């Protein structure tokens, strides 16, 4: 007894050159008994909408700000990835974006917490839109509860601006409060 992956095709469909036509007929019968391909078009439209939405979300500077802080803390050796997220020159050190002692100390503190096995959670906070080409994004790093049971967090301000080509780049990072 032979078992076929596509029982509607039968053993000779591919030999006769009707494989594509038979497969199409089988798909239409399986997914749309009326014989049309409305469901297929609906599914394709949904995929296009989802891809466009994901692209729009990824292009938001807020996502870059959060991803940069998270990568800077958790994988500081990933210099190339940090440069790409921040949209800075390949010869520039991503750590140079930390502006002020409190931001540097906060990054070192969070790295130490992670090394101790403490779970870190990075999230976006408030966004200040200074103008069309400048934003300040608050990024919060929350770590495990302290002695009193309260969640502890450190907040960074990621200063972002558009470059000459209209792409967002990280200009500097302050905070650590």
C-alpha distances in Å from residue 3, one per residue of 20, 76, 82: 19, 54, 53
Number of neighbouring beta carbons within 10 Å of residue 62: 19
Question: Distance between the two ends of the chain, CA-based, in angstroms?
Answer: 72
How many Å apart are CA 155 and CA 127, to the nearest integer?
A: 13
Q: CA neighbours within 13 Å on the CB side: how many for 170?
A: 33
pLDDT digit string (tens) for the chain, length 177 residues: 555 454 444 454 444 455 455 545 545 555 454 555 555 555 655 555 655 444 444 457 899 999 999 999 999 999 999 999 999 999 999 999 999 999 999 999 999 999 999 999 999 999 999 999 999 999 999 997 666 656 689 999 999 999 999 999 999 999 876
Rg value, the chain, Cα: 26
Give, for 149, the enclosing helix (H) or strand (E). none
Stretch(es) of the chain classified as CATH 3.10.450: 61-175
Output the pLDDT for position 45.
Answer: 56
Contact 146, 166 (CB under 8 A): no
Give the position of tokens 């008994």. Answer: 33
CB distance 173 to 156 below 8 Å: yes
Q: What is the pLDDT of residue 48?
A: 52
What fold is seen in the domain 61-175?
A: Nuclear Transport Factor 2; Chain: A, (3.10.450)
In terms of Cα–Cα distance, which of 142, 161, 160 is closest to 152? 142
CA distance 143 to 92: 29
């Amino acid at each position: 007894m032979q078992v076929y992956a596509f029982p509607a095709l039968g053993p000779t469909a591919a030999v006769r050159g009707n494989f594509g036509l038979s497969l199409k007929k089988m798909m239409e019968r399986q997914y749309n008994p009326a014989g049309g391909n409305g469901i297929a078009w609906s599914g394709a439209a949904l995929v296009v909408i989802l891809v466009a939405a994901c692209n729009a979300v990824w292009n938001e500077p807020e996502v870059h700000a959060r991803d940069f802080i998270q990568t800077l803390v958790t994988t500081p050796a990933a210099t190339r990835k940090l440069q790409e997220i921040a949209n800075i020159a390949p010869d520039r050190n991503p750590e140079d974006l930390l502006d002020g002692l409190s931001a540097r100390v906060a990054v070192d503190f969070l790295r130490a917490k992670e090394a101790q096995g403490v779970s870190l959670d990075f999230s976006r906070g408030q966004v200040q839109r200074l103008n069309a080409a400048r934003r300040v994004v608050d990024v919060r790093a929350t770590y495990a509860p302290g002695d009193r049971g309260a969640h502890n967090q450190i907040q960074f301000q990621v200063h972002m601006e558009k470059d000459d080509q209209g792409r967002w780049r990280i200009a500097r990072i302050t905070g650590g409060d």
